[in-house]
Amino acid sequence: MDKSLTSDSPANIIVGSRVWIEDPKEAWLDGDVVQISGDKVTVNASNGKTVVTSLSKTFPKDMEAPPAGVDDMTKLSYLHEPGVLQNLATRYELNEIYTYTGSILIAINPFQRLPHLYDVHMMEQYRGAPLGDLSPHVFAVADAAFRAMINEGKSNSILVSGESGAGKTETTKMLMRYLAFLGGRAATEGSTVEQQVLESNPVLEAFGNAKTIVEKYKLGNPKSFHYLNQSNCYELAGVSDAHDYIATRRAMDVVGISEKDQDAIFRVIAAVLHLGNIVFAKGKEIDSSVLKDDQSRFHLSMTAELLMCDPQSLENALIKRVMVTPEEVITRTLDPLGAATSRDGLAKTIYSRLLVDKINMSIGQDPSSKHLIGVLDIYGFESFKFNSFEQFCINFTNEKLQQHFNQHVFKMEQEEYKKEEINWSYIEFVDNQDVLDLIEKKPGGIVALLDEACMFPKSTHETFAQKLYQTFKVNKRFAKPKLSQTDFTISHYAGEVTYQADQFLDKNKDYVVPEHQELLSNSKCSFVGALFPPIREESSKSAKFSSIGSRFKLQLQSLMETLNSTEPHYIRCVKPNNLLKPTIFENSNGVLEAIRISCAGYPTRRTFYEFLHRFGLLATEVLEGNYDEKVACQKLLQKNGLKGFQIGKTKVFLRAGQMAELDARRAEVLNRAAKTIQRQIRTHIARKEFIALREATIIIQSIWRGNLACKLYEHMRKESAALKIQKNLRRHISRKAYMQEQFSAVVLQTGLRAMAARNEFRHRRRTKATIIIQAQWRCHRDCSYYIKLKWAIIVSQCAWRGRVARRELRMLRMAARETGALREAKDKLEKQVEELTWRLQLEKRMRADLEESKAQEISKLQASLQTMQTTIDEANAMLVKEREAARKAIEEAPPVIKETQVIVEDTKKIESLTAEVDDLKASLQSEKEKAEDAQKRFAEAQEISEQRRKKLEETEVKVTQLQESLHRLEEKLSNLESENQVFRQQALSISPNSKLLTGRSRSIRNAENGHIVGGDSKAATDSHSTTSSQLDASEVEDKPQKSLNERQQENQELLIKCISEDLGFTGSRPVAACIIYKSLLQWRSFEVERTSVFDRIIQKIGQAIEPQDNNDVLAYWLSNASTLLLLLQRTLKASGAAGMAPQRRRSSSATLFGRMTQSFRGLPHGTNLSFINGTVISGGDPLRQVEAKYPALLFKQQLTAYVEKIYGMIRDNLKKEISPLLGLCIQAPRASRASLVKGSARSLASSAAQQTLIAHWQGIVKALGNCLNTLKANHVPPFLVRKVFTQIFSFINVQLFNRQEPDDSVLLERLILLLRRECCSFSNGEYVKAGLAELEHWCYTATDEYAGSAWDELKHIRQAIGFLVIHQKPKKTLDEISHDLCPVLSIQQLYRISTMYWDDKYGTHSLSSEVISNMRVLMTEDSNNAVSNSFLLDDDSSIPFSVDDISKSMEQIDISDVEPPQTLRENSGFAFLLPHR
């Protein structure tokens, strides 16, 4: 174990401390110290065992470490081996596979796919982000290298190291993918650089694992091939060989390998596999070899066939060697071991020349590039049971890189000390220069001795090993194993490795066998022949021997020179377990080199805030004083007597062991405080028990006293009860006698009264039956008479009306033969309609008079009936009084003497009362008869009213028929007029009176265009005739007058000029929209095929909203545009044949009946005209639907687009206004974090800071309020206002959840809650919660009419903040969190927040490890779902409504009383805009 990693002083470990101890199985276990005896420590381990160990092997455990670990291990309080491994294991359990150690990235292989960590969205997150701002990631290292190259103009390198299975290749792929994403998208020969770089990896990987080639070239199971079955690993879970084969072929296409070369490559690969299965046996001669069996002969034949060479020549090249001497040429046979070595050498030579050169030529490097980023992927340090020349070279490389790494890390440490301006001296660190001298020093290094041994033909591995033993016997880094004569041990930086020198000489010789060269050069396959070009004779003589070690040494030296010229970045890949399974972390020593140098200097570094937050209780007087943070830290350290520490500009630097010493003193203070609290609590409990005992004593005394009082009370109650029983018994006897006498009297009276009542009832029943029979007979008689009379009248009317209708039909047919007759018929029909209308009104008035008289008569009858009822009630009251008086007289009279007299007097009174009741009955009967007569008259009046109602309905039906016939006549008249127009136009060319005819036709058109509004039909007719006569006279007199088109153009100009101004509102109705609609409707612009007025209105609106930052103007036009759009939506209807038929049916308003309808609309409101089929509606100026042509429909679409545009401009302006305030709200908790140092000045500063923080939220509320007031002042529909604020609150939700900040001209989405740990704190949650309370109060003030569901849009940030500020998080279950607390947050978002959460206020922990593990399982199950893997929220900037939504949400608008502006009121052409008075 490295002492630099275990320097925390054990003297600070006391009884009760939580410590780490070594364990042979688990490596490290945590436990509690229960006893310390000298140098021995007794610990209760977490696995339940009690362990006794040495105090020097015990290390303190940081109990205040975050539950999710730290992302930079230099932040650990104890920088020792168990602390480092525990931090990595904790983060690995949470799928946090990346961890920083300063600027060095440690990557742990997860052995599972984590696609959400490497998608394009994640690359966008790290693009341009400074190193350390976001969570550790391989993209962050690549981006730092790329930014350093761009900004500093210097080449960079990224060194990826680790053992086999640690994930180096995958990490390198991610680096290359990210670098290609940043700067490699230039197309080259049909494929991008990114594709070529990335696709070269599958090619190399596939040919690094030749199992990919399938059974095309007589290949069988991979287990049967020698070169494939060495690792006993033939397939991996989740890896498809077929898929990899397809990916390999695609990659070969991308990097530029032709189809022919691809086929040749696979042939060569198959040949190498067959070559490995050739086995040799001893021949008949000494030291000779032959093929072992037929199977070997088969593989030899297949190899020759695939390489397209002679099988016999191949066999000779494998088992024979030709030696050329000056005298003769000698051919010798190799033994089986030599033949196998020759076979393997041939296979290695073929395989090594196969693809690398081809790929490098395809990708290449831009020769014009000045700088580069190199990615170095090498094996880590290797130590196996058998270590040969390959392990020696790999470990030699790692030694060189370790020296480079030590120098770089030491340089970074010096830069950190200089940055903090602390006093420091030269820090010693472990240097491995002596190991490098042992290996590469000339002339006495191992590589030099190996080359020397290879130069002598008689050298063997035994002589080479003995040479090493003699040369390095005194070197402390070199050792000789006791039981071996050829092995040697080198003490590397990572540990001792024993090498077997048996094959060092053979593997160091890189000579090309002439037989192999000649065989493959003569191959019939051009591809194979190109791999082995003929060697010139001169070069072949010099190339007989070449040292692999020397060449490797030169290449390594060139590599180190390249690395020294670049700025290095380090990534250490770690294999968590040897099972290659996920979620299993076994302790590993592969990460400890990165922190050795930090431990040699000042391993513990804390910012002033963190140091005071943790150890401030050791010197409370320092916190109470008004000291600066730096001074406070220095005084605290001096008080505790520490030496050797350094105070920087922003941090405190502690030597090894000082943090443990401070923690021990802190634990003592906390223990004393705990004892004080326990003492106070025990005092409180004892006092509480005493008070409870005293209260119980008082209660028992009260109960006994109450018991005595109850006994006394029971005695008194029994005595009182005896007296009451005697009294009630006597009263009962007296009452029983009285009740018997009273019952006898009541029985006698009841019998007499019942007999009289039965006689009266029989009389009344006979009378009522008689009346009912008479009423039914009279009703039947009158009803029969009425039905017969009604039927006769209907038959007569129908016959007469049919006769009249037939007569009128004949007359109409005769009149329809000429135009003049049609005009007369038209006038006659108009008069008939007026007469029918008058009759209709008369019928209505008569009906109203009848209803009124009927109501008066009913009221009179009800009054008389009420009077009679009152009289009856009075008589009944008098009768009751008399009976009561009689009863009293009976009771007061003596029982025997006056009994007869009382009965006589009562009988007289009863008779008088009976006579009076008879009189009242007679009067009641007469009143009932009168009421029945009134009911009969009322029924007759109802029948008459019903007859008149039916007549009225018949009249209305007749009016409808007349309307239809009139409409047909109008169509015929229109056709005749069009024919007459053609005839008149023909006559103009030959008639000198064309001017008069043209004037007449224009007067007719003007009359038909109908600029007549208001007044009755007669006035309209008179004005029409007057206008026609004036036009005729003026044209006859040849006076100039403007044409209708010119007047129309002037009116349009005036309208456009008028709407350019702010016309304001009438109530809540925008004036501009109302006058535009009424003008377009009056001019019939919706029904014409061509007009420019729509384009001019749209152009004017576009000019008005050009200043996009003026919300007042935008709100004014949004109100006008939405109102106008609503009117058009409820008015326009698309014509089914618009633009298709040359002769279109004119609308009803252009016909005679349409003009008549307009004249009816102009009548006073008291007339209450009401036609059935939608021609006239009583009161107001209602909207009517017209068939719109294409320009009107286009105008509606353009207006819709402007409503959406203005809405979006208002919304975006508000977003721009509140976006900086949101940025201040997000940055405020970090920038304004209050210090723990107390004092009057600091308290005032803290109060001012709190006011500043809340001021940002109040600024947002103020901006929302100003916008709402502007929209309300311009009467924008509440529906649109709700939509605006709903989207604004959604924007606030997205911004608070994932803030967008500009950085280096690149827009970055930074996950404020998910990727920044300081934002996932308790205090930050309280701050944001206070701001959300301000927004909630604003929503309440704005009411649901305008705020709507805006508050619900903040549900994501509300639930996230609610999670941050809740207490007792470890007690919460996953179901409670995902369903009750945060139902809208995804598992990924909850996982990130829970793992990044830290309580900077109370020091509490996040969720339990079980809940976090369950979250991780759910994330793993959903890892293939791109939607579920997304952490971010998207801001929806679409338009959230349609025209139909506006139409449904807005109420009916009455535009009849909207006052036009003064300019239009003074113009007679806009008289139609004036409201009806």
Three-state SS string over 571-635 comes to EEEECCCCCCCCCCCCCCCCCHHHHHHHHHCCCEEEEHHHHHHHHHHHCHHHHHCCCCHHHHHHH
pLDDT tens digits, 1406-1453: 888 888 888 888 887 766 554 445 566 777 778 888 888 888 888 778
* 801-849 per-position pLDDT tens digit: 999 988 888 888 787 776 665 676 677 777 777 778 787 777 787 778 8
CB of 149 closer than 8 Å to CB of 156: yes
- Tokens 């006495």 belong to residue: 444
Q: Is the pLDDT of residue 426 over 70?
A: no
Q: Please tell me the predicted confidence (pLDDT) of residue 999.
A: 39
Nearest to 1182 by CA among 1125, 1121, 1130, 1123: 1130
572-580 average pLDDT score: 82
6 secondary structure, DSSP code: S
Above 70 in pLDDT, residue 212? Answer: no
The predicted pLDDT at position 1184 comes to 67
Mean pLDDT score, 183-189: 49
User: What's the farthest any 2 CA atoms get from each other in the chain?
Assistant: 190
**3-class SS of residue 428:** coil
| pLDDT at 1159 (0 to 100) | 36
For residue 727, the number of C-alpha atoms closer than 13 Å in the C-beta half-sphere is: 5
Contact indicator for 137, 98 with CB cutoff of 8 Å: yes
Q: What is the rounded radius of gyration, in angstroms, for the C-alpha atoms of the chain?
A: 55
On whether the CB atoms of residues 1153 and 970 are closer than 8 A, the answer is: yes
pLDDT at 979: 54
Phi/psi of residue 190, nearest 5 degrees: 85, -10
Cis peptide before 443 (omega within 30 of 0): yes
Which range in 787-791, 978-982, 1002-1006, 1156-1160 is most confidently predicted, on average pLDDT? 787-791
More confident residue, 617 or 723: 723
Q: Inform me whether the pLDDT recorded for 4 exceeds 50.
A: no
Burial of 781 (0-12, 13-18, 19+ CB in 10 A): exposed
The string of pLDDT tens digits covering residues 688-728 is: 999 999 999 999 999 999 999 999 999 999 999 999 999 99
Q: What is the pLDDT of residues 346-373, one digit of tens each?
A: 888 888 777 666 566 655 566 677 788 8
Token couple for 598: 């930090």
3-state helix/strand/coil string of 1032-1052: HHHHHCCCCCCCHHHHHHHHH
Neighbours of 1097 (CB within 10 A): 23
Q: In terms of pLDDT, which residue wins out, 214 or 161?
A: 161
To the nearest whole number, what is the mean pLDDT of the chain? Answer: 78
pLDDT of residue 760: 92
Burial (Cβ within 10 Å: 0-12, 13-18, ≥19) of residue 1055: buried
pLDDT at 825: 66
Looking at the DSSP bridge assignments, the partners of residue 1186 are 1132
Structure tokens at 1339: 């929503």
Given a contact cutoff of 8 angstroms between Cβ atoms, the answer to whether 158 and 374 are in contact is yes
Q: Count Cα neighbours of 440 within 13 Å in the Cβ-side half-sphere.
A: 20
d(CA 868, CA 923): 8
* Residue 984 amino acid letter: R
For position 357, what pLDDT does the model report? 60
Cα 1432–Cα 571–Cα 407 angle in degrees, nearest 5: 135
Q: What is the pLDDT of residues 1256-1291, one digit of tens each?
A: 888 899 999 999 999 999 999 998 999 999 989 988
Where does residue 1400 rank: exposed (0-12), middle (13-18), buried (19+ CB within 10 A)?
middle
Confidence of residue 511 (pLDDT cuts 50, 70, 90): low
What gap in Å lies between CA 104 and CA 408, rounded to an integer? 11
> pLDDT by residue (tens digit) across 1107-1130?
777 888 899 999 999 898 888 888
pLDDT band for position 215 (cuts 50, 70, 90): low
d(CA 1135, CA 1261): 49
- pLDDT, residue 718, reads 92
Higher pLDDT, 1304 or 64: 64
Is 1362 in contact with 1383 (CB distance < 8 Å)? no
Structure confidence at residue 1151 as a pLDDT band (50, 70, 90): very low
pTM of the prediction? 0.50
Element spanning 1308, H or E: strand 1306-1310
**Phi and psi at residue 370, to the nearest 5°:** -95, -25
pLDDT confidence of residue 574: 87
Q: Running DSSP on this structure, what letter comes out for residue 1245?
A: H
Query: Facing residues of 362 across strands?
Result: none
- Name the region of 1038 (left: φ>0; alpha: ψ -120 to 50; beta: rest): left
3-state secondary structure 756-775: HHHHHHHHHHHHHHHHHHHH
- Rounded to whole angstroms, how far apart are CA atoms 355 and 205? 11
φ/ψ of residue 567, rounded to 5: -90, 115
List, for residues 872-903, the tens digit of each pLDDT value. Answer: 888 788 878 877 877 777 677 555 434 444 44
Bigger pLDDT: 222 vs 1027: 222
Q: Are 1065 and 1458 in contact (CB under 8 A)?
A: no
Q: CB 121: neighbour CB atoms within 10 A?
A: 14
What does the pLDDT look like over 1341-1379, one tens digit per residue? Answer: 988 888 888 888 888 888 888 888 888 888 888 888 888
pLDDT value at position 509? 76
Q: Which DSSP string do the residues of 381-413 spell out, in sequence order?
A: ----SS--HHHHHHHHHHHHHHHHHHHHHHHHH
- How close are the terminal C-alpha atoms of the chain, in Å? 105
Helix or strand holding residue 10 (H, E) = none
State the alpha helices, DSSP H only, in 334-476. Answer: 336-352, 356-363, 389-420, 433-440, 446-455, 461-471
Least confident of 198-207, 664-673, 946-955, 1068-1077: 198-207
User: Rounded CA gap, 573 and 105, in Å?
Assistant: 9
pLDDT at 1137 over 80: no
Judge whether 674 and 688 are in contact, CB under 8 Å: no
**What integer pLDDT is reported at residue 787 of this predicted model?**
92
Confidence class for position 649, pLDDT limits 50, 70, 90: confident
Task: Calculate the dihedral angle through the C-alpha atoms of 974, 976, 981, 987, rounding to the nearest 10 degrees.
Answer: -170
Q: Which residue has the tokens 């959460």?
A: 1397
The Cβ-side half-sphere exposure at 259, using a 13 Å CA radius, reads: 0
Read off the amino acid at residue 813. Answer: R
Task: DSSP for 1411-1462, please give it.
Answer: HHHHHHHHHHHTTT-TTTT--------S----HHHHHHHSPP---TTPPPPH
User: What pLDDT, on the 0 to 100 scale, is given for residue 38?
Assistant: 84
263-268 CB contacts, 8 Å cutoff, 24+ apart: 264/525, 264/526, 264/527, 264/528, 265/354, 265/355, 265/527, 266/213, 266/216, 266/217, 267/217, 267/306, 267/307, 267/525, 268/306, 268/307, 268/350, 268/354, 268/527, 268/528, 268/531
- In sequence order, the β-bridge partners of residue 1306 are 1303
DSSP structural state of residue 1379: I
pLDDT of residue 428: 62
Q: What's the Cα-to-Cα distance from 514 to each of 184, 511, 1122, rounded to whole Å?
A: 44, 9, 92
Structure tokens at 854: 């009927």
**Per-residue buried b or exposed e for 570-608, using 16+ beta carbons within 10 Å of the residue's own CB:** bbbbbbbbeeeebbebebbbbbbbbbbbbbbbbbbbbeb
User: Cα separations (Å) of 394 from 380, 400, 590?
Assistant: 8, 10, 16
Instruction: Find residue 99's DSSP bridge partners.
Output: 106
User: Tokens representing 327?
Assistant: 């005298």
User: What pLDDT band is residue 1154 in, cutting at 50, 70 and 90?
Assistant: very low
Query: pLDDT tens for residues 1329-1338?
Result: 888 888 899 9
